[in-house]
Amino acid sequence: MMVGRVEQMITGAVHALVNRDIERAESTIARDKDVNQDEVDLDRMCIEILSVYQLEEADLRMVTVAMKMVTDLERIGDLAVNICERAMQLANEQPLVQFEKIPRMGLVVRSMVKEAIDAFIDRDESSARSVLKRDDEVDDLYEAVFEELLKLMLADSGNVHRGIHFQSAAKYLERIGDHSTNLAEQVIFMLKGTDIRHPKLWRNKAHSLSSGSAYTASAASAESPKGTDIRHPGPPIE
């Protein structure tokens, strides 16, 4: 259900931007609260599983990967909201660019999300690796949009306001592609037990260990009781 909502939000956001559709933007933004609730519910479910069952390594990877994937899906929903906000700001402006590349970006990133989740469900490493390869197309499309907008803004300062908003929307789509890549990487970790993120870290692992470096992190909130979920502040969602 969460995945379906997120996919619909991507489609709605791109439609709102291309068609200057304020109503569609507002309805897409309204879906975000359900995605947030899905994140909290699924995390709680995973924590309950971890606390009740003594899981084997493969099952443990699956549950922890699911928690990470839920976070990426929630962030994709947030990025769709960001696109809708840009769409609403541009709704009464004249179009600045032809929208061939932005709808294409939307189609690609939505299909990347779907393929990554299907790979998780089907335990399909090949599909997960296909998602990683497709991110290059999204990056190329974003670079093309950026260059086109930059030329228009340099040619006429009157284009800068609209250009910045369009560029931001394209960047949000590119970031959705990055989160889709995260999803696919987590699937590969679940299936193979191999972490393929941040390859430079692995190349430098021996040096890091020999130098005695360590990662430290401060508490998210010293005042919050342990076990309190401080995400998505506001009245409890029933």
Determine the average pLDDT of the residues in 195-206.
64
Q: How far is CA 137 from CA 58, 77, 112, 140, in A?
A: 32, 21, 11, 5
- The string of pLDDT tens digits covering residues 39-90 is 999 999 999 999 999 889 989 999 999 999 999 999 999 999 999 999 999 9
pLDDT tens string 4-50: 999 999 999 999 999 999 999 999 999 999 999 999 999 999 999 99
What pLDDT, on a 0 to 100 scale, did the predictor assign at position 238? Answer: 44
Cβ pair 116, 131 in contact under 8 A: yes
Cβ–Cβ < 8 Å for 141, 169: no
Cβ(12)–Cβ(24) under 8 Å? yes
Is residue 21 helix, strand or coil?
Answer: coil
pLDDT at 235: 54
Q: Tokens representing 66?
A: 């699911």
Which amino acid is present at 137? E
More confident residue, 237 or 9: 9
In the prediction, which pLDDT does 237 show? 46
pLDDT of the residue at 94: 83
pLDDT of residue 194: 81
Q: How confident is the model at residue 215 (pLDDT cuts 50, 70, 90)?
A: very low
Cβ-Cβ contacts under 8 Å for 172 (sequence gap 6 or more):
79, 80, 82, 83, 86
| 129 or 232, which is more confident | 129
**Cα separation of 108 and 83, whole Å?**
16
Q: In what helix (H) or strand (E) does residue 42 lie, and over which residues does it extend? A: helix 32-52
pLDDT in tens, 118-174: 999 999 999 999 999 999 999 999 999 999 999 999 999 999 999 999 999 999 999
Predicted confidence band of residue 218 (pLDDT cuts 50, 70, 90): very low
Q: Could you state, in order of their start, the residue ranges of all structural domains in the chain?
A: 2-200
Choice between 162 and 206, residue whose per-residue pLDDT is larger:
162
Q: How far apart are CA 145 and CA 214, in angstroms?
A: 41
* Separation between Cα atoms, residue 187 and residue 131, nearest integer Å: 11
Res 219 pLDDT > 50: no
Cβ neighbours, 10 Å, residue 64:
16
User: Please, are residues 96 and 172 in contact by the beta-carbon 8 Å criterion?
Assistant: no
The label of the residue with tokens 């009245």 reads 235
Record the tokens describing residue 180, joined without a space.
């889709």
Average pLDDT of span 196-216: 56
Is a pLDDT exceeding 60 seen at residue 117?
yes
Rounded-to-integer distance, Cα 38 and Cα 100, Å: 33
Average pLDDT, the chain: 87
CATH class of the domain defined by 2-200: mainly alpha
